[in-house]
């Protein structure tokens, strides 16, 4: 019996040990397969190689604008890559701003171009491409050089130029599919007809009509290129032809023969020197003013009175009441009821920001393209009363977004391009500023020059814009040469005269100083009592920005236009079509600066 009992006692732990060993083997196999799977995924994902990077159109970027970055990536592995490629900027070891994300599929041993659209506003930013979590799943890039808008010659990637050219070359296959990404382009030289899809043809024409310049060159056969489809407007026999606000110039020269001085009368490129490369301040100042309009305002007098009443009730008040109430349970219940009641009161009074409703404030710059179509750049500030993951988008075929700040990481993803959107996490009663640019539909403003007296200096200029829109105009200016003229509305007409003008440099300096004071001069209660007045203060610095002033205080602008061309700026309320799409953000208050090119009527 003793032996049997001893035998039974030995079998129980043996069985348990055997079962445990079998379970351990199963788990070890699972972990082994999981490890192999993760190793396979990591090996597949890290197979991307960055072969080439092109910043902007001439390997430089324009500060304070959206710039296109073209990246050639290759899959050198035997497995397809199917994932996303992230592009973001960093300061030191920390990411700043939101992540620009793009889906990417690459078959084995193939390569493709990816294009990102980023807003460049600081010379010290470093940039990184990332496509996985492995140690080698990224590519770091140095900060690009800054310059004024580019002047490049377009070439066919399948038949590159065999001869050296005096101009930077840009492959026609990389031309962006939206005019919103062409802010860094001033003029193009063409000696062939690009094989573009419809979106790129339309983007090219929009850029041209908005004020771009095209220089047509002869091909190797000594003939000018012949264009088809929408581009047939370039088939002109005139040496100089205007298309919208743009210009087409024919040169009796090939890509090898053309010299920079042959086109220098139309554009003067300017590379920014290191001492000029100071961080962009205009965007930051716009955001400061916009954020003031959505500050949470508190009734501090009421909060202080509630605090005093709370201290009086939970201290002496409870003590006096306790002497009159014998049951200790009632005294505890009274104390808890007092605490709960004041908790609700403090929560109600403390959370009343913007009347407990979401609100949007936007400042827009709309460069006219054709009819009711505009290239619109926006500075937007949204205030939300409810915390959630928000999707920000606009009614445009292509949207470009950026956070426009460089001091913190933003919990958000930006998907720029076709049907672009900004996905961002916004806590309750918080705000988020961002930039947006897109080709958008607005109102059709019939601008007409009725009278133009003067050449380099205006004696008098009279313009009509239709009776309906005239009533909406808040301010107006005309820039001609090195002077700016203030608008006067007379009998439904807009008049500009030398008596109401000043040097452009003085105007820019004064307006930027006004913006600087407005963005930093906080009132004691941070209250903006006149929203329209604050927007009107931003109109003149916005004119300076559109003329090439990247920073507050900068007065060295882009070269003035010829004497037969003036620039008209009109400030008014934004149309509904420029608003943030969707109902989650509540009411939007927005103002827009319209920009038109005026041409002197032929005698």
What pLDDT is attached to residue 296?
61
Kindly tell me if the per-residue pLDDT of 98 is higher than 60: yes
Q: Over 221-273, what HEC string results?
A: CCCCCCCCHHHHHHCCCCCEEEECCEEEEECCCCCCCCCHHHCCCCCCCCECC
What pLDDT is attached to residue 511?
74
322's CB contacts (< 8 A; 6+ apart) are 331
Pick the range with the lowest mean pLDDT from 127-141, 230-244, 274-288, 473-487.
274-288
Digit-coded pLDDT (tens) for 394-407: 999 999 999 987 77
Is 463:449 a contact under the CB 8 Å cutoff?
yes
The residue-averaged pLDDT of 17-36 equals 54
Digit-coded pLDDT (tens) for 42-77: 444 457 899 999 999 999 999 889 999 999 999 989
State the pairing for strand pair 126-130/81-91. Answer: antiparallel
Pick the range with the lowest mean pLDDT from 275-284, 344-353, 357-366, 389-398.
275-284
- Looking at the chain, the whole-number percentage of residues with pLDDT higher than 90 is 50
Which range is most confident: 36-40, 265-269, 308-312, 587-591? 587-591
The residue-averaged pLDDT of 566-572 equals 96
Rounded to 10°, the helix 504-520/282-292 angle is 50
What pLDDT is attached to residue 416?
96
Task: Label residue 1 by pLDDT band (50, 70, 90).
Answer: very low
Nearest 5 degrees, angle CA 475-CA 478-CA 484? 100
Distances (CA, A) of 329 to 17, 337, 343: 58, 12, 21
Digit-coded pLDDT (tens) for 432-474: 999 999 999 999 999 999 999 987 788 899 999 999 999 999 9
Alpha helices by DSSP H, 446-603: 467-470, 504-520, 531-546
Calpha distance 331→319 (Å, rounded): 9
Calpha distance 512→540 (Å, rounded): 8
Is 379:283 a contact under the CB 8 Å cutoff?
yes
Query: Which 3 state secondary structure label does DSSP give 313?
Result: helix
The residue-averaged pLDDT of 273-280 equals 45
Query: Which 3 state secondary structure label does DSSP give 583?
Result: coil
What pLDDT is attached to residue 351?
62
pTM given for the model: 0.83
Residue 315 is classified by DSSP as: I
What pLDDT is attached to residue 279?
44
Task: Label residue 275 by pLDDT band (50, 70, 90).
Answer: very low
The torsion defined by the Cα of 547, 549, 553 and 555, in degrees rounded to 10, comes to -60
What pLDDT is attached to residue 558?
54
User: Any idea how long the chain is?
Assistant: 603
Query: Which 3 state secondary structure label does DSSP give 277?
Result: coil
Is 405:284 a contact under the CB 8 Å cutoff?
yes
Distances (CA, A) of 504 to 83, 248, 265, 555: 51, 28, 21, 8
Calpha distance 487→474 (Å, rounded): 10
For the chain, how far is it from start to end, CA to CA, in angstroms? 129
Kindly tell me if the per-residue pLDDT of 559 is higher than 70: no
- Looking at the chain, the whole-number percentage of residues with pLDDT higher than 70 is 81
Distances (CA, A) of 458 to 47, 302, 505, 543, 601: 63, 58, 17, 19, 14
503's CB contacts (< 8 A; 6+ apart) are 482, 483, 484
Task: Label residue 587 by pLDDT band (50, 70, 90).
Answer: confident
- DSSP states of 484-504: EEE-EEETTEEEEEGGGEEEH
Nearest 5 degrees, angle CA 372-CA 375-CA 379? 120
Is 126:93 a contact under the CB 8 Å cutoff?
no
What pLDDT is attached to residue 336?
86
What pLDDT is attached to residue 15?
45
Alpha carbon of residue 82 to chain centroid: 27
Digit-coded pLDDT (tens) for 503-542: 988 888 877 666 666 655 544 445 556 889 989 989 999 9
C-alpha closest to that of 206 among 218, 216, 196: 196
Top-confidence residue, 13 or 261:
261
Q: Mean pLDDT, the chain, as a whole number?
A: 83
Calpha distance 475→496 (Å, rounded): 12
Residue 399's DSSP bridge partners are 417
Residue 449's DSSP bridge partners are 463
Residue 572: enclosing H or E segment and its boundaries?
Answer: strand 565-573
424's CB contacts (< 8 A; 6+ apart) are 98, 389, 390, 392, 410, 411, 412, 413, 432, 434
Is 289:519 a contact under the CB 8 Å cutoff?
yes
Is 122:62 a contact under the CB 8 Å cutoff?
no
Sign of the CA dihedral 510, 514, 520, 524?
positive
Digit-coded pLDDT (tens) for 195-245: 999 999 999 999 999 999 999 999 888 899 999 989 999 998 899 999 999
Taking CB atoms within 8 Å and a gap of at least 24, the contacts of 416-423 are: 416/100, 416/116, 416/117, 417/102, 417/115, 417/117, 417/177, 417/178, 418/177, 419/393, 420/393, 421/391, 421/392, 421/393, 422/98, 422/391, 422/392, 422/393, 423/389, 423/390, 423/391, 423/392
């Amino acid at each position: 019996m003793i032996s049997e009992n001893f035998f039974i006692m030995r079998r129980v732990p043996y069985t348990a040990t055997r079962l445990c060993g079998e379970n351990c083997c199963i788990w070890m196999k699972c972990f082994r397969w999981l490890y192999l799977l993760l190793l396979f995924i990591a090996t597949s994902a890290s197979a991307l190689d960055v072969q080439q990077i092109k910043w902007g159109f001439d390997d430089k970027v324009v500060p304070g604008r959206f710039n296109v970055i073209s990246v050639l990536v290759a899959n050198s592995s035997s497995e397809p890559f199917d994932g996303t490629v992230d592009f973001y900027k960093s300061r030191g070891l920390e990411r700043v701003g939101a992540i620009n994300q793009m889906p990417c599929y690459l078959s084995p041993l193939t390569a493709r171009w990816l294009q990102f659209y980023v807003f460049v506003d600081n010379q010290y930013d470093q940039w990184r491409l990332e496509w996985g979590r492995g140690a080698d799943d990224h590519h770091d890039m140095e900060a690009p050089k800054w310059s004024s808008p580019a002047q490049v010659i377009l070439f066919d990637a399948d038949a590159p130029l065999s001869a050296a050219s005096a101009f930077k070359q840009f492959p026609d296959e990389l031309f962006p599919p939206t005019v919103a990404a062409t802010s860094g382009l001033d003029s193009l030289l063409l000696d062939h007809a690009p094989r573009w899809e419809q979106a790129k043809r339309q983007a090219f024409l929009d850029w041209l009509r908005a004020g771009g310049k095209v220089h047509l060159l002869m091909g190797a056969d000594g003939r000018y290129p012949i264009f088809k489809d929408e581009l047939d407007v370039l088939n002109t026999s005139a040496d100089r032809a205007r298309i919208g606000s743009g210009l087409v110039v024919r040169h009796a020269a090939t890509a090898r023969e053309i010299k920079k001085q042959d086109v220098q009368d139309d554009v003067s490129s300017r590379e920014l020197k290191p001492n000029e490369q100071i961080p962009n301040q205009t965007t930051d100042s716009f955001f400061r003013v916009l954020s003031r309009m959505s500050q949470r305002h508190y009734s501090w007098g009421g909060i202080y009175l509630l605090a005093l009443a709370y201290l009086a009730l939970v201290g002496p008040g409870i003590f006096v009441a306790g002497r009159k109430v014998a049951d200790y349970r009632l005294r505890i219940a009274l104390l808890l009821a007092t605490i709960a009641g004041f908790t609700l009161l403090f929560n109600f009074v403390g959370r009343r920001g913007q009347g407990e409703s979401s609100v949007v404030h936007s400042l827009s710059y709309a460069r006219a393209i054709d009819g009711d179509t505009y290239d619109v750049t926006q500075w937007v500030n949204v205030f939300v009363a409810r915390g959630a993951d928000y999707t920000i988008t606009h009614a445009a075929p292509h949207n470009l977004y950026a956070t426009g700040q460089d001091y913190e990481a933003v919990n958000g993803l930006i998907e720029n391009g076709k049907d672009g959107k900004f996905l961002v996490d916004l806590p309750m009663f918080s705000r988020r500023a961002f930039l947006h640019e897109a080709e958008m539909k607005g109102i059709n403003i019939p601008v007409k020059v009725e009278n133009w007296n003067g050449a380099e200096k205006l004696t008098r200029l009279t313009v009509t814009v239709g009776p309906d829109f005239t009533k909406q105009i808040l301010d107006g200016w005309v820039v001609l040469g090195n002077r700016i003229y203030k608008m006067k509305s007379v009998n439904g007409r807009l008049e500009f005269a030398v008596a109401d003008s000043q040097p452009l440099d003085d105007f820019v300096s004064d307006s930027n100083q006004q913006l600087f004071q407005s963005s930093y001069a906080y009132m004691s209660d941070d209250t903006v009592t006149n929203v329209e007045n604050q927007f009107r203060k931003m109109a003149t610095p916005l004119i300076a920005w559109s003329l090439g002033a990247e920073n507050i205080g900068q007065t060295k602008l882009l070269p003035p236009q010829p004497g037969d061309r003036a620039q008209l700026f009109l400030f008014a309320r934004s149309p509904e079509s420029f608003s943030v799409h969707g109902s989650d953000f509540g009411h939007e208050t927005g103002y827009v600066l319209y920009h038109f090119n005026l041409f002197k009527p032929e005698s």
